[in-house]
Each structure stands twice: as structure tokens, then as C-alpha cells.
Amino acid sequence: MKQIIGMFKDYLSVVGYSIGTQSMLPRCVNEFLHYRQCEDVSVVTPTDIRLFYEWLQVRPLKRKEGTLSEMMIAHYMYALRVFFDWLQATGVQPVNPISGLKFKTAAYNSRKPLSRDEIEKLFDVATTVKERVVLHLFYSCGLRRSEAVRLQVTDVHLSHQVLYVKRGKNARRRVIPLPNKVVVVLGQYLKHERSRSRKSGSAFMLNRIGHSMRGDSYLLILKKLLAKADLSKDITLHHLRHSIATHLLHGGMSLGYVRDYLGHRHLESTQIYAVPGVHQLQQL
């Protein structure tokens, strides 16, 4: 078992999990194997995992009184899911014992992604080119608010259908491919709206007086669209980024690709959009 756990740690490191998660997930798996008194992972059954889950509900804390929180129990289940997914992918265990199991989701404060229908509503009520550009920057391109504010004209290469984020979070750079429909809208903005500005600086998006658009200006445009589409006023620009991540992953795009698309440093930052109930792993 030590060899399997060691290989699992190596896997977590290679695919890009953070140092904390590389330590945390194997510890959770190791506790399960100890509870199961397991020397051969191939004999683990869904019943074994369900019994372990039930035991976690009453498992005492090691350093103080009380039992595990819902969030911590969710960590354990997430660790087992990643572990057995890895074993199945590598052929060690043909049948994944956790794949058909569902567990209670720990309570957390999260941004709920918009549905595809809600995204379509926003685009339907966007009557100006600038409004459509804002939706494309935050949804189609998955930009953060700060990245949109810093976006320069020279960062957008319509002929090559790419957008460069040169100063993302933690100074990370990335290249975002632009679908044809996004190229068309961005091109219309550059040619017909932005070119009319008297104070055309280097920023890609300009406000009505020709200065670089600020974050609150982007948000104001979104709020107007939300009102016209009769959607929640609590939706923010980051909800659009969250939504494209969720839609790409649920559409079958690989986790690694979406991580690069969003500019995440660690894989678990992207994983939260794919697996319900693991948002709390950001705290590991």
C-alpha cells in the first residue's frame, strides 16, 4: 500500500495539485485503507466506501472533542474519488467502486453558474456591440475583471483568432482561442465603435469619454443586461467566468485544458467547477 500511496502522490504532483493537496488527499486515502484493513485496492467495493462514510459521521477528532465537520467529510470523499478515478485510468482497478455513489454536499458559499439558457438570454438582450463584447470577454473568453481592465488592443489578434492575457493572476500569462463569432463581434467593436473615440489610448475597451474602462463600468453594463433579461441582480462578472468553466467541463473538455484556459495555477482550482461539493478544497 505504501507504494500505491507514493505513486498517487507523484500523480497529484505531475497533474498540478498544490503542495497542501498533495499531502492531504493521500492522508485521507490512507485512513480509508487502514479502516478497511485493505492490502489490495482491487477488492474495495461500494459497500466498503459507504461504511467508511457512515463511520466518518461519528469519527472523533484527534486533537479535541467533537466529530468531523461536513466539510472535512467531503474532503475524504473527494480524496477517494480522485484516488479511484486514477486507479481506473491507469488500469490498476477496472471497476471504480465510488463512481456510482453520491454523498451529501457540504454547505459552502459559492457562485452558482448560470445555465446555458440564462447565458443565451443575456446575449439576446444585448443590443449594442459593446454589450456583446462585454459578455464575450467575461463568458466566451473567461477573463477575470482585472484582466479585462488591463486588456490592450495589441493583446487581441483577430487575424490569428487569439487573445493574450499577459498579466493574469499571479503574473500568469495565457493564450485564449477566439471562436469565429467572438472574432466578428470584437472586430465590429474595433472598426465601428472604438475608432470613433477622440482619445483612443492603448486599452482595448474604452468608456464614453475615451478612457480605459474600469471594472465598475463593466459591471454596470452587466447589471443593465441582467435587468433586461429578468435575471438575478446578484450575478457578477465572475459568475460569467464560472459559467464558461462549468459549461466547458460538462461539455467534455479536459480538466487540464480548462485550467490553462482560465489561467489557474493548481488543478483543484479548476476541479471545483467539475465536481459538485468540492469547492471547499480551495482551503486546503
CATH for 125? 1.10.443.10
Question: Domain containing 31: what range?
Answer: 2-107+266-283
3 state SS of 165: strand
pLDDT digits 0-9 by tens, 71-115? 888 889 989 999 999 999 888 888 899 988 888 765 544 568 899
| Residue 261 maps to a domain | no
Number of other residues whose CB lies within 10 A of the CB of residue 181:
12
Q: What's this model's pTM, rounded to 2 decimal places?
A: 0.61
The set of cell numbers assigned to 281 is 478544497
Burial of 219 (0-12, 13-18, 19+ CB in 10 A): middle
Same domain for 56 and 76, yes or no, is yes
Torsion, Cα 129 131 134 139, to 10 degrees, reads -100
The answer to whether residues 143 and 240 belong to one domain is yes
Question: Model confidence over 217-251: pLDDT tens digits?
Answer: 999 999 999 999 999 888 999 999 989 988 888 88
Catalytic residues: 144, 169, 238, 241, 264, 273
